[in-house]
Structure formats: structure tokens, C-alpha cells
Amino acid sequence: MNFKNTKRLILGLGILSFTFACKPKETSIEVSAGDVDPTRFVSIGGITTSGFMDDALYAEGQENSLGAILSEQFKLVGAGNFNQPLMPSSSVGWSQNGMSRLLLGYKTDCLSITSLSPVRIASQGDLTGFGSYVYSSSNKFNNFGIPFIKTTEFSTPGIGNPANGLGLYNSFFTRMASDPLNGTIKADILAKNPTFFTLFTGMDEVLMFAKNGASVGSLTPINGAAGIGFDGSITDLLTDLTGNGSRGAVSNIPDVTDFPFFTTIPYDGLNLDADNAFTLNEIYNPIGIYFQVGKNAFVIEDPTAGAFGARQMVEGELILLSVPLDSMKCNKMGSVFPFRNEFILTNPELLQIRNTISGFNAVLASAATTYNLAFVDSYSFFKKIKTGIVYNGISLSAKFVSGGAYSLDAVTLNPRGNALLANEFITSINQKFKATIPKVDATKYRGVIFP
Amino acid sequence: MQKLLFTLFFFLTSQLVLSQGFQVNFQGQKQQGMGGAGTALPIDGASLFFNPGSTSFLKENSVNLAMTPTFARTLFVDANTNQSARTNSPMGTPFSAYAVYRKSAESKLFFGLAVYTPFGSTVQWEDEWMGRFALTRLELKSLFIQPTVSVKLTEKVGLGVGFVYCVGNVNLQKDLPVMDASGNYGHAELAGKANGFGVNAGVFVQATEKIGFGLTYRSQVNMSVTNGQATFVVPSSLEANFPNGSFSSSLPLPQVITLGFSYKPTDKLSLALDVNYVGWKAYDTLAFDYETNTSSLFDTKSVRSYENIFAFRGGANYDFTDKIAARLGIAYGISPVQNGYVTPETPDANRINYTAGLSYKVGKHFAFDASIFFTHLKRTDTNIETNLSGTFTTNVVAPGLAVIYRF
């Protein structure tokens, strides 16, 4: 062997090793729908299912709805097209009060301090986009996520009829109903002839009640006939949904009072200097309320609190993010002027709300058993978010804006939050129906967008 | 000299996890051909690394220059989504240079200088991979400069000690989960230079003509970054939360204790066996201490919890003629990374290394060594810090070449 041969040999080794260097091979992983027939998947629910977020229904939110994200994964195991009642893609959106969606911007408060804050993207909502009738009999919808729907309303005829008057119809259904004047949501769902469904209902009605400080309307009774009580309405809906042999998943509902809308302002966030403490003591000492320099509990209206109907908050009670922050910071709201009930959840109100949630959840859990459905424990999922989770290196919590899971309205999840919730659904569905539907890569979904 | 060293240094790009943790064991082509064993087999200048005590048993002066281009490819398959991502790390170029010199054939004293890259890795993950918020790129380089003295105490015993000066640098990058209006995520880059000191000492015993023993101790080297530069790209509204500035950190390069054994059944055949005990337990935490902390940027402590490990290396050398020799080797290494602590920067696993080598002498002065190395790693884990869950598969191929001048 001479030198030249050695060189050749070395060169040969080099080339050989290069070929070897060889990307590791990917072995294909089997995905299967198991006992699920995903052909015609229908998602049913409220704000989360619809993709309502940043306090508005708008296209990007809808594209990242719980229903839409699930449908993408079901497509991997044979689901068909997922048709949504989309808003126009460039629309500024439509809130329950006709406002445009929120985005993170800058706001200058009464103390002339400018800071990051959710601001409306436009001065008003997109009435033209929202008012367009989008139903098509040849392309029926798969997403029956209807913002602010009550569970009792799925079988209510004419629930999309504006003639019923404010509070007695749902304008988000009007635009997508086959028969807005007389039809029911349930009939439209059944007309799609679903082969698989998800049901995530009960949250919106509790949330609406809580968001108004438990001062407007009432909570749906846990028990009662269809259209009146929660359990009767659920039975009515699930009996018909499963009637044709369709399988599905049902979720329980979160403790809505864990949402950042209720947890951002601390009950004892009244910070006083000596002067202010003195002034307040002058006012309140006669009725037995005392202030100190430093942290104090805010003062609220409470008709049950003695002759003056005012008291300090106690630990556990919640101040809502709807409270006028400037009035609080500069005009002594929450101190000289007690917070009105609509901005507060008192302990008795919280008890009522939480009892309803646990009542609903008992109904939902037993319905899952009765109708042989996958059961999704969203209640625990939202509790985990509250404690804080880490997903692929991303820390998420229920902190307003910086927590990264909620949208800017502080009650709905952002796309990343929805993706994580969708994964909870997939886990339960896989378990129940022996399926191996891949979960969503939630890093591909956005969190909060910063300016 | 300093400038030269640094120039040299910056031409080096090291490589992904060639041995346990981020340790690299490409120090001599002959030993590489024999599974990385050589503590009790003084065959060339690489003994400065493998056992300074055995250097005094060398039969000639030499200068040895070697390079081992290293090709490593890692595939990650996410357990939750079934989606995959790959590394496109650059070719690694572990490098070693050894010079050994004694005044005359009768001299009991050898002087040596070794320059080598015992630790390093460059891992570059594909853009927008699912672990981007854990790591996008890690570049870790180290260059050891080791002046050495080796003494032949008796006909049977050699003793050697080298002083190690180490320079290194680290560059760690990851994306931050804060998005701007154009849809771009934030990015963090932590870069810094480090240096440290250590020793490499060994004793060699040529018990009989056929049997040799070696014992070496390479001390831990703490590579400390004192004035690293942290650079953040974030949406403008968050710039105050992520101030660019300095940081400090440190990385322990672990101590290694090696027991070696050699046996020459015939004139033509030599066998070598090494057992390494590596003090990876020193790598308990990776901490970053930022000069300026904010509500978003606080000092971090990532638990690594590495464990001390053993590695076993064995190989054979066969001299076909005076000029031509061939080698085969195998090594088994236990991973220091416990379950729950596997990261994209070191997707480590227990592994078997397969190696082969060839030598050819040209004329009186020159010789060439070649070696080839292959290993395959597979590890499935869920990291307890990031919750990244899936399977890392890595293939490494490294052909190496050395030029030796003997005098």
C-alpha cells in the first residue's frame, strides 16, 4: 500500500461517513381516530368555542377558536371541512355592546402616567360585518360556538329574533341561523347531522352574571325542565345529539372567578398616606371603619352592612376590572365613595356563583357517563393555569396580560390558551375512544401581542 | 502569542455532545481508533492528554497535529404533537496539537505542550421549532493549553503533570414568548468569554514487557463568565423590562479519573482498556446572574442535576508491517443526565461508540493517522423545567486525520 492509496482510503472513509452522518430517520407514528367518526365534527358552546376574544367576535379570533383548533387536529384523522360563521377578515370585530376588539396599546391615566393597557382598535364595532347574514344552506356551519349563549337557550325557538327585544335574543346567532325568526340552535346543529361533537356550555351564563357583579339578572337554576333548568336543558340537547349515534365530548366549566377580570385588583389595594388615612378616619370612624397608613381594604356599598350600607371588603372578595380605574385613582372611588355593587363580588355572591358552578359541573359529569361521552375537566385546567404552568418553555398564568394565556378582555383565552385547552379535549377524547389524535403545538399559536 | 491563541481559538467550532454531557474525547487519532482508550499505552504525543505519566515512555520526539471533522444530526419528535424538528448544527472541528521533546535518547525527562478542545458543542435547532423558547442555539467552545513535564522515575514507572489553562466562550440563544405586532417573537442572546485553570496528572507503570497500567487525574475546571453580554430583542413596549447588559455565569468542566490497562499478547498486537470516572455531579445548576434585574428579567437557576458517571473504552492495535497499523475500538458511556433533565442543548443518552483507525508511516519523519467514529443516541424524556416532551435521536460520524512529524 502506498501513500496514494492511503489518501484514497481516507477520502473514502470521509465520504462514507458523510453519507452515514445521516440524518436520524423519522419513523412514522400512527394516528387513529379510534372509535371516533370525525367526518362531520360540530363544536357547540359559547365564547371559547366561537373564538370570541379580546372582547369581540373577529376573524383571527374565530380562526383560533377552540372549535377551529380541534377541527384541525380531527382533520389529521379524516375530518372534513370545518365551516365557521366568520366575520370579514379585515373587520375590527363586534363586542356584546357593539365595540371593536381590544389590542394592547398605551393609555394615560388621571395621574398622567402612560402605561400599557388594552385599548379599542377602532372607535366603534363593525356593524356592517356583524350585521351580514352568513348562513348558507349548501354549506352549513360546524361551529356552534355562540357568544353569551345560555344553556337554556339552545332549544328556544326564535332565539335569533331581534324582535324579541334586548336580552331575549342572541345577536351572535341571528347572523348564522337558518331561520333567525323562529328556528332553534339545536335544530341547526342537528341539520348538520354531526358524527362527532364537543359541548362546552354553562360558562357564559355564569360569567355574564359574575361580570355584572351579580347585580343584574339571575343564574340558571341547576335543576329544571329544558329551557328553564340546567340539567333539563343538557339532557334535552344530549338526547338529540346522540340520538343518531353520534359520539362526543362534554366539558365541565371553570371557576370563572379565577379569571384575571376578577383577580387583578386586590381587595386591599387602597394605599394610604398619613393625610388620606386621617381624612378617611374622620369620615368613617363614626360608623366603625378604621384606616391605617399603608394597605387598606377598599370600601364598598353593601345594603346589609348597617344603617349606612357601606363596609370594607374582606379577604376573598373580588373587585372587577370593569371598575372605573381613574375614579379609583384620582376621585376616591373605593374609599370616600364606596364601590357600587356592580363592580364587586362579595363573599355571599361568590358562594352563590361557585355553588352554581359546582352544581353545573355535577350535571355535566353525570351527563358524560349517561351519554357515554368523553369528559373534559376544564375546571382543573383553568385552576392549573391559575397556579401557573410551563408549556415547552413558556410560562403561563392567569395574570392579566403578562400571564400570556388570556386575551385582553381578561375572561377569554387567547389563541395559545385555546390551543392548550384543545389539548385537554384531545387527551380526554383519545382516552375515551381509544384514539391517537395528535395534540396541537401550542407554540405555533400567539399569546398577547405587544406594541 | 495571546493573539495567536485567540485567533486559533476563534477558528474552532466545536461539536455536539460527542461524549457524555458536552465532553469531547477526540484527543488523538490512534486512541480514537481504539475506542478512546490509551491511558496505559504510550504510543504518541497524545499521551500528554491521555496520561502525562506515560509520555516519558515515548521513544521519539514528535509534533502531532490532528483534526476530526464531526457531523452530528439530531432529530426531535414531540411526544404530544408527533411533530418533529431537526438540528442543522455546523460541522464540528475538534482539534488537537501535541509536541513532545527530550534532549537525548538517554534523557529521563520529556517536555510537552498540548493544545486541545476537550469540551464543546454547537447545537443549532431549525427555525421556529417547538422548543424555541427553551433553546435555539448553543455554542460552547473551550481550548485547553497544557504545558507538561513527564519523568521516567524508574525503568517501570513514569510520572507526569501538566498545568492546564483554559479559555472558552459560550453563546446561548433562545426565543422569548413575547410577540410584536408583526408577529415576531423576542430573542435573547447570552454571550461571554470564560477562562479557568486545572491540572492533568498521571502515573504509568510498565509492569512487564507485556502489561501496563495507568492512572490519571484531570481536575475540574470552572469556566466562569464574569462579564457576559446579554442582548434582548423584544417589542419596544417591553424594552425597559429586558435591558441589555452584563451577566455572570459559570460552567464546571468536570474532573475525570481514569484507570487504564494495556496488554501486548504478541509483538504486533496491543490491547487497551480504560475506565473513566467523570465528576459530572459538579454540574448541578446552570445559573445566570443579570446585572440589572426587572420584573420580567430575574436571575435564573436551572437545575441540571448531572450525575457522576463511568465510561468504558477498549480497543486493539495491530501492526501489519513496520509502516502500517490498523485499529478497532468500542466504548460504552453512561449518560450523566438524569431523567427529567434532558435538554435540547445536550440531548444525551447512554451510548455505544464504534471506532476504527489506520496509520501509515512515510519515510523517516512523517506519519499519518486516520480514524473514524460513529455513535447513535436515543433518549425519550419530559424535561421538568420546560415540559418539553419527546424523543431525541442523534447520529454522530467523525472521521479524523493526523499528521505527525517525528524526530
| Nearest residue in chain A measured CA to CA from B396 | A21
pLDDT of residue B117: 87
* pLDDT, tens digit (0-9, with 9 covering 90-100), for B221-259: 998 999 999 999 999 999 999 999 999 999 888 999 999
**Yes or no, beta carbons of B386 and A423 under 8 Å apart:** no
Give the H/E segment covering residue A260. helix A260-263
Identify the band that residue B10 occupies on the pLDDT scale cut at 50, 70 and 90. very low
The predicted complex's ipTM stands at: 0.91
B47 in Cβ contact with B350 (< 8 Å):
no
Q: Chain A residue closest to B129 (CA)?
A: A443
- The verdict on A307 and A357 lying in the same domain is no
Which amino acid makes up residue B7?
T
Give the count of domains, chain A. 2
Q: Are residues A340 and A351 in the same domain?
A: no
A333 and A366 in a single domain? The answer is no
| Cβ-based neighbours of A27, under 8 Å, separated by 6 or more | none
A318 neighbors A345 (Cβ within 8 angstroms): yes
pLDDT at residue number A25: 87
CB-based contact B83 A441, cutoff 8 Å = yes
Percentage of chain B lying above the pLDDT 90 cut: 81
Contact at CB, A392 and B86, closer than 8 angstroms: no
- Asked if residues B329 and B37 have their Cβ atoms less than 8 Å apart, the reply is yes
pTM for this predicted structure: 0.93
| Site from A392, A394, A426 to mutate, B interface, most B CB atoms within 10 angstroms | A392
Residues of B in contact with A20 (CB under 8 A): 374, 395, 397
From the list A9, A18, A29, the residue facing B71 with the nearest CB is: A18
Q: Which helix (H) or strand (E) holds B400?
A: strand B389-406
What pLDDT is attached to residue A409? 98
Give the domains, in start order, of chain B with CATH numbers.
2-406 (2.40.160.60)
Instruction: For cell 449518560, name the residue.
Output: B335
Q: Where does the pLDDT of residue A27 fall: very low under 50, low under 70, confident under 90, or very high at 90 and above?
A: confident
Please tell me the predicted confidence (pLDDT) of residue B93.
Answer: 83
Are B246 and B17 in contact by the 8 Å Cβ rule? The answer is no
Cα-Cα-Cα-Cα dihedral of B172, B178, B184, B189, to 10°? -20
Is residue A21 very low, low, confident or very high in pLDDT (cuts 50, 70, 90)?
A: low
Q: Using the beta-carbon criterion (under 8 Å), do B179 and A404 form an inter-chain contact? A: no
Asked if residue A1 has pLDDT above 50, the reply is no
DSSP class of residue A400 equals: T
In chain A, which residues have their Cβ closer than 8 Å to the Cβ of B398?
Answer: 17
User: What spatial distance separates the first Cα and last Cα of chain B, rounded to whole Å?
Assistant: 25
- Closest residue in A to B392 (Cα) is A24
CB contact under 8 A, B370 and A451: no
Model confidence pLDDT, tens digit, residues A29-49: 889 999 999 999 999 999 999
The torsion defined by the Cα of A50, A51, A57 and A61, in degrees rounded to 10, comes to -150
**pLDDT beyond 60 at A155:** yes
Q: Is A113 on the interface with B (CB under 8 A)?
A: no
Cβ atoms within 10 Å of B61's Cβ, excluding its own: 18
Helix, strand, coil in percent for chain B, rounding step 5: 5, 55, 35
Q: What are the pLDDT digits (tens) for B53-78?
A: 999 999 999 999 999 988 889 999 99
* Domain final residue, candidates A344, A359, A386: A344
Residue B319 Cα, gap to closest chain A Cα (Å): 14
A31 → chain B, closest CA residue: B82
Length of chain B equals 407
Tens of pLDDT, residue by residue over A80-92, are 999 999 999 999 9
Our CA-based measurement puts residue A252 at a distance from the nearest CA of chain B, in whole angstroms, of 23
**Cell reading at A32:** 387513529
Q: Look at residue A252 and tell me if it is in a domain.
A: yes
Question: Chain B closest CA to A304's CA: distance in Å?
Answer: 41
Q: Is residue A1 part of a domain?
A: no
CB contact under 8 A, B370 and A443: no
Higher per-residue confidence, B23 vs A326: A326
Give me the domain span that covers residue A311: 270-344
- Residue of A23, A441, A451 lying closest to B78 (CB–CB): A441
Residue A26 in contact with partner chain B when CB distance is under 8 A: yes
Statement: residue B80 has pLDDT above 50? yes
Give per-residue pLDDT as tens, B86-96. Answer: 999 888 888 89
Q: Say which residue the cell 471506532 belongs to.
A: B355
Would the pLDDT of B261 be above 50? Answer: yes
Instruction: Please answer yes or no on whether B386 and A392 come within 8 Å at the CB atom.
Output: yes
pLDDT score, position A10: 56
Confidence of residue B122 (pLDDT cuts 50, 70, 90): confident
On whether both A330 and A361 belong to a single domain, the answer is no
User: For residue range A278-313, what is the model confidence (pLDDT) as tens digits?
Assistant: 999 999 999 999 999 999 999 999 988 887 899 999
Residues of B in contact with A16 (CB under 8 A): 372
Taking the Cβ of residue A450 and every Cβ of chain B, the question of whether any pair is shorter than 8 Å is answered with yes
Dihedral, CA atoms, A391, A26, B352, B349, nearest 10 degrees?
Answer: 0
pLDDT band of residue B121 (cuts 50, 70, 90) is confident
CB-based contact A153:A164 (threshold 8 Å)? no
> What's the pLDDT band for A16 if we cut at 50, 70, 90?
low
Is the CB of B387 less than 8 angstroms away from the CB of A6? no
Option in A24, A402, A444 nearest B73 (CB): A24
For residue B238, the chain A residues in CB contact (below 8 A) are: 450
User: What is the secondary structure of B277-319 as a DSSP string?
Assistant: EE-GGG--EEEEEESS--SS---EEEE-----EEEEEEEEEEE
A57 and A118, same domain (yes or no): yes
Whether residue A293 sits in one domain with residue A207: no
| Residue given cell 358562594 in the structure block | A351
Q: Where are the alpha helices (DSSP H) in B179-313?
A: none
Per-residue cell: B158: 513514569
On whether the CB atoms of residues B229 and B191 are closer than 8 A, the answer is yes
A290 & A425 share domain: no
Mean pLDDT for the stretch of residues B254-278 = 95
A29 within some domain: no
Percent of chain B with pLDDT over 70: 94
Grid coordinates of A100? 371593536
- Per-residue model confidence (pLDDT) at position B105: 86
CA distance B384 to B343: 10
- Please state, in angstroms and rounded to a whole number, the distance separating the CA atoms of residues A422 and A427: 9
> Last residue of some domain: A344, A377, A401?
A344
Distance from the A437 Cα atom to the nearest Cα atom in chain B, whole angstroms = 9
- φ, ψ of residue A329 in degrees (nearest 5): -75, -40
**Between chains, do A441 and B374 touch, taking CB under 8 Å as contact?**
no
A423 to A70, A72, A372, A427, B80: CA distances (angstroms): 8, 12, 20, 6, 9
Domain annotation covers residue A173? yes
The alpha helices in B341-403, defined as continuous H runs, are none
Same domain? A148 vs A275: no
**Eight-state DSSP code of residue A289:** -
CB neighbour list of residue B390: distance below 8 Å, 6 or more residues apart? B76, B77, B78, B79, B80, B380, B381
Enumerate residues 52 to 111 of chain A having a beta carbon within 8 A of any beta carbon in chain B.
104, 106
Interacting residues of A351 by C-beta distance below 8 A, sequence separation 6+: none
Strand (E) or helix (H) holding A12: helix A3-20
Q: Distance (Å, rounded) from C-alpha A170 to C-alpha B200?
A: 79
* Inter-chain residue contact B86 with A14, CB threshold 8 Å: no
pLDDT at position B13 is 32
Is the confidence at residue A370, as pLDDT, over 60?
A: yes
Q: How far apart are CA B153 and CA B109, in angstroms?
A: 9
Instruction: State the pLDDT at residue A201.
Output: 98
Let me know: does B352 contact B47? Beta carbons within 8 Å.
no
List the single best residue of A17, A29, A63, A416 to mutate versus B (max B Cβ within 10 A). A17
Contact residues, chain B, for A443 at CB < 8 Å = 130, 132-133, 177
Both A409 and A423 in one domain: the answer is yes
8 Å CB contact of A21 and B131? no
Q: Decide the pairing of beta strands A247-251 and A196-200.
A: parallel
Q: pLDDT of A373-422, one tens digit each?
A: 999 999 999 999 999 999 999 999 999 999 999 999 999 999 999 999 99
Interface test with A, best of B238, B374, B397, B404 (most A CBs within 10 A): B397
Q: According to the model, what pLDDT value does residue A11 have?
A: 59
Query: Is the confidence at residue B407, as pLDDT, over 70?
Result: yes
- Residue A260 sits at the chain B interface (C-beta within 8 Å): no
Each residue of A225-279: pLDDT tens digit?
A: 999 999 999 999 999 999 989 999 999 999 999 999 999 999 999 999 999 999 9
Residue among B74, B75, B358 whose CB faces A9 most closely: B358
H helices of A270-414, in order, are 274-284, 325-330, 347-370, 378-387
Four-residue CA torsion sign, A54, A59, A60, A66: positive
**How much is the pLDDT for B16?**
32
Q: For chains A and B, what is the number of CB pairs under 8 angstroms?
A: 131
The answer on A101 and A119 residing in a single domain is: yes
**Strand-pair category, A374-376 with A247-251:** parallel
Residue with cell 348562513: A135
Task: Provide the pLDDT confidence category of residue B23 given band limits of 50, 70 and 90.
Answer: low
Q: Which residue has the higher pLDDT, A166 or A250?
A: A250
3-class SS at B246? Answer: strand
> What pLDDT is recorded for position B167?
93
A160/A255 same-domain check: yes
Q: Report if residue A27 sits inside a domain.
A: no
A275: contact with B, CB 8 A cutoff: no
The reply to whether A352 and A275 lie within a common domain is no
Examine residue A19 and state whether it is found in any structural domain, yes or no: no
Residue A184 has pLDDT above 60, yes or no: yes
Distance, in angstroms, between B342 CA and closest chain A CA? 13
A404/B394 CB distance under 8 A: no
Q: How far is A61 from chain B (nearest CA, A)?
A: 15
Residue A7 lies inside a defined structural domain of this protein: no
Tell me the per-residue pLDDT of B323-366, one tens digit each, with 9 for 90 and over. 999 999 999 999 999 999 999 988 899 999 999 999 999 999 99
Residue A8 is assigned to a structural domain of this protein? no
Residue B18 has pLDDT above 90, yes or no: no
Q: Residues A396, A398, A400, CA angle at the centre, nearest 5°?
A: 105
A 391-410 residues with CB < 8 A to B: 391-395, 402, 404
Asked whether residue B1 carries a pLDDT value surpassing 50, the answer given is: no
Q: Strand pairing of A449-450 and B157-180?
A: parallel
d(CA B72, CA A17): 11
DSSP class of B239? T
Q: From residue B67, how far is each of B102, B328, B345 by CA, in Å?
A: 25, 19, 23
C-beta atoms of A22 and B131 within 8 A = no
Distance of alpha carbon B138 from alpha carbon A321, whole angstroms:
43
**Whole-number Å distance between alpha carbons of A404 and A399:** 8
A372 close to B (CB below 8 A): no
Q: Which amino acid is at B400?
A: G
Q: What is the mean pLDDT of residues A359-382?
A: 98
SS3 A72: helix
Cβ–Cβ gap B236/A451 under 8 Å: yes
Q: What is the CATH number of the domain that holds A353?
A: 3.40.50.1110
d(C-alpha B256, C-alpha B27), whole Å: 14
Distance CA B46, CA B247 (A): 37
**pLDDT higher than threshold 90 for residue A110:** yes
Contact A13 B372 (CB under 8 A): yes
- What's the confidence (pLDDT) of residue A12? 60
Name the domain boundary from A344, A362, A394: A344
